[in-house]
């Protein structure tokens, strides 16, 4: 069976969340010298990749990309690519925290507003007492502070660098600083820290099961409606796209 499903030219490995975590566990346990960049690719990124060649090469060069959103999974199924399930940044992060707690991995949390960044580390420390938080920094830093943050992360050498700076800025940031960050894995997680810290409500399981996460997020944060207009546009373009 084909190992990848292609959606608008972006090649997604056919991997479940469980398999994704196995692969990432191997990455942490192996002694690699290069940072392993994980990108959870949502429809906005797939659309942006059509015109933005620099973003496209960041996605192509990533260690692993996952299908972030039911839209991508559905399009793959309608076009015979059959991705097994959604693998979102939030779900991946929760599983990494869980494994990290069991295996005593180390983390650095970069991003979200200053209060949320502090709060999320407090919540994670309580819930996952056996993982270590080597450092943290909020995501509203000035250009002039950036080098110091990169240097700090590089000195601390976390197993996992969690970056919540918004997509695709986080993905570009990780890619551009790849050689200086000294982390084994870096992953952009969108608004996940806001959810773990309790600033934004988590989508209830029942809504997730019905694949209505997008609707729940829209109700919670109505200001996202403009961004969500991309979803029908993505569906139409992706279903009519001529894959090479």
Residues near ligand UDP (CB under 6 A) are: 111-113, 139-140, 164-167, 190-191, 193-194
Residue pair 45/66 in contact by the 8 Å Cβ criterion: no
Angle among Cα 96, 97, 103 to the nearest 5 degrees reads: 85
Task: Name the residue nearer to ligand UDP (CB basis): 113 or 152.
Answer: 113
How many CA atoms are closer than 13 Å to the CA of 132, on its beta-carbon side? 8
Show the tokens assigned to 58.
Answer: 């960041």
Task: Name the residue nearer to ligand UDP (CB basis): 11 or 224.
Answer: 224
CB of 140 to ligand UDP, least distance (A): 5
Query: Which DSSP string corresponds to 126-174?
Result: HH-TTSEEEEEE-S---HHHHHHHHHHHHHH--SEEEEES-TTHHHHHH
CB of 143 to ligand UDP, least distance (A): 11
CB of 165 to ligand UDP, least distance (A): 5
CB of 174 to ligand UDP, least distance (A): 13
By beta-carbon distance, which residue lies closest to ligand UDP?
139
Task: Name the residue nearer to ligand UDP (CB basis): 83 or 193.
Answer: 193
CB of 75 to ligand UDP, least distance (A): 19
Task: Name the residue nearer to ligand UDP (CB basis): 112 or 153.
Answer: 112
d(CA 37, CA 114): 25
Taken as a whole, the chain contains a residue count of 244
Q: Which of 169, 194, 184 is nearest to 63 (CA)?
A: 184
Q: Which residues neighbour 176 within 8 Å (Cβ) at sequence distance 6 or greater?
A: none
CB of 137 to ligand UDP, least distance (A): 9
Task: Name the residue nearer to ligand UDP (CB basis): 111 or 158.
Answer: 111
Task: Name the residue nearer to ligand UDP (CB basis): 55 or 112.
Answer: 112
Residue pair 12/4 in contact by the 8 Å Cβ criterion: yes
Residue pair 193/117 in contact by the 8 Å Cβ criterion: yes
């Amino acid at each position: 069976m084909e190992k990848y499903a292609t959606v608008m030219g972006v090649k997604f490995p056919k991997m479940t969340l469980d398999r994704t975590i196995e692969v990432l566990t191997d990455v942490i346990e192996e002694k690699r010298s290069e940072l392993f960049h994980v990108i959870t690719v949502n429809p906005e990124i797939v659309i942006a990749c059509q015109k933005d060649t620099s973003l496209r090469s960041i996605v192509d060069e990533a260690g692993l990309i996952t299908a972030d959103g039911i839209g991508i999974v559905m399009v793959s199924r309608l076009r015979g690519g059959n991705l097994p399930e959604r693998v979102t940044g939030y779900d991946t992060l929760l599983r990494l925290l869980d494994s990290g707690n069991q295996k005593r991995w180390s983390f650095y949390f970069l991003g979200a507003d200053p209060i949320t960044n502090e709060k999320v580390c407090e919540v994670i420390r309580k819930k996952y007492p056996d993982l270590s938080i080597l450092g943290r920094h909020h995501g509203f830093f000035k250009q002039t502070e950036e080098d110091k943050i990169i240097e700090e992360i590089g000195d601390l050498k976390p197993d996992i660098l969690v970056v919540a700076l918004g997509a695709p800025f986080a993905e570009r940031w990780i890619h551009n600083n790849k050689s200086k960050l000294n982390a084994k894995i870096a992953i952009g997680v969108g608004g996940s820290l806001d959810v773990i810290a309790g600033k934004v409500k988590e989508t209830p399981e029942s809504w997730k099961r019905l694949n209505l996460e997008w609707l729940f997020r829209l109700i919670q944060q109505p200001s996202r409606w403009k961004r969500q207009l991309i979803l029908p546009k993505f569906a139409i373009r992706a279903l009519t796209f001529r894959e090479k």
